[in-house]
Structure 1
Amino acid sequence: MREAIRVDEQGFFVEDVVLQDNEPLPEDCIEIKVPDGLYRPKWNGTSWEEGLTLEEIDAIVNAPTEPTELEKLQQENEQLKASVIELTTYTAAQEERYNQAILELSQLIAGGNV
């Protein structure tokens, strides 16, 4: 068995193909492996080259990525921590107001001035 690469009419990579040893190489196949690092391999008749422009590659490399599940959970955790701090601060302020109201009420009941 041997491997080949099928290309389309413009020379762009289509798929890997497995051939029997005695099977002839189809006209749309090349037996030269595609080198690593090509975004869209293109056969130019003698060698493999990059089929994308620099602008197209930049668009791929610099494309915004969707946050991972872990990143989403970390962001949600930070939001929850901020909410807990906000609620804790609010609760402490409410407790202070409640204590002040109890003190004033106690003084009024005892006949004192507020």
Structure 2
Amino acid sequence: MKQIYLYDDNHLFIGVDVVESNNKILPEKFTDIAPPDGLYRPKFDGEQWIETITQDELDELNKVTTLISDTERIDALEGAMIEIFETLS
């Protein structure tokens, strides 16, 4: 058995399948060349896999989101409660 790699009409990677090792003819839109690790949106150009993600898309994926701490959450809730009590008074 060997793995083969499926791509769509735009030649973008969409999955993996397995065929018999002795099968020399690959189905259409498959290659036996594995996409290298680390590609976000691999595209097969007929000879190799290339990266197609833009720098802006990559920056968005790598954007660090900061989570607020428990103390900050409690402070925010206390502030909201004070505002509610002041409006009710």
Larger C-alpha radius of gyration, 1 or 2? Answer: 1
Which protein has greater RCO, CA pairs closer than 8 Å, 6+ apart?
A: 2
**Aligned counterpart, 1:13:** 13
Taking structure 1 as the reference length, what is the TM-score of the superposition? 0.55
Considering only aligned residues, what root-mean-square deviation do their CA atoms show, in Å?
2.5
**Partner of 2:6: helix, strand, or coil?**
strand
Taking structure 2 as the reference length, what is the TM-score of the superposition? 0.69
More strand by share: 2
Poorly superposed stretches of 4+, deviation over 2 Å: 21-24
The answer for unaligned runs of 5 or more in structure 1 is 84-114
**Aligned counterpart, 1:50:** 51
| Number of equivalences | 75
More helix by share: 1
- Structure 1 residue 79 displacement after superposition: 3.2
The answer for unaligned runs of 5 or more in structure 2 is 79-89
| Distance in 2 separating the partners of 1:64 and 1:45 | 38
